[in-house]
Amino acid sequence: MTSWQHDKTDLLATEKRWVDKAQAGDRLAFEKLYRGHCDRIFGLCWRMCGGDNALAEDMVQEAFVRAWNKLHLFKGESKFGTWLHRLAVNVVLSDRRIRVKRVQREQEFSEDIERVQVGDRDVFAGLRKDLEAAISGLPERARTVLVLYDIEGYKHDEIAKMTGMAVGSSKAQLHRARKLVREVLKDSENI
């Protein structure tokens, strides 16, 4: 076993102890879990929220509140980070459904217009800044599929289950998202 593998095994064992303590009600252990995962969960939420920092922060907070409340459901069949990641995706998707319903009640949309959510500001420099801006500007469904598939590594059948769309729709949205991102990046090179 290499030192890296040994270190990873130690980290997993430490995390399991924190999970066990947190499941027993130890808030300090849960705080350690929070500190160990908050940056990754924020990155996920930030991308899924189109670069909206305030909304992403709200989603991170909601994800960890739900994690605390549902910690007794974590059985250790996967890594805690994997379980938390999936919970955060569900929090963002649930919030999105609620926001869409609220907006639909407030005003009628024509069927050919998709809501696009763009962040207040870009937080990365250079090419990464352009890429994040391109992703942020995608229509919501295309952005969701792109983030879940290309960045987070979910498969189309998993995305379909999480979002309620057909597998074929997930594939079509991914194709559409990649095409739109390429076009935006190509245009930014020409400026």
Write down how long the chain is. Answer: 191
> What is the per-residue pLDDT for 186?
83
What is the pTM for the complete model shown? 0.62
Question: Which domains are delineated in the chain?
Answer: 1-108 (1.10.1740.10), 117-191 (1.10.10.10)
126-135 pLDDT, tens digit per residue, is: 677 788 888 8
Task: Name the DSSP letter for residue 72.
Answer: G
- pLDDT tens by residue, 150-172: 888 899 999 999 889 999 999 99
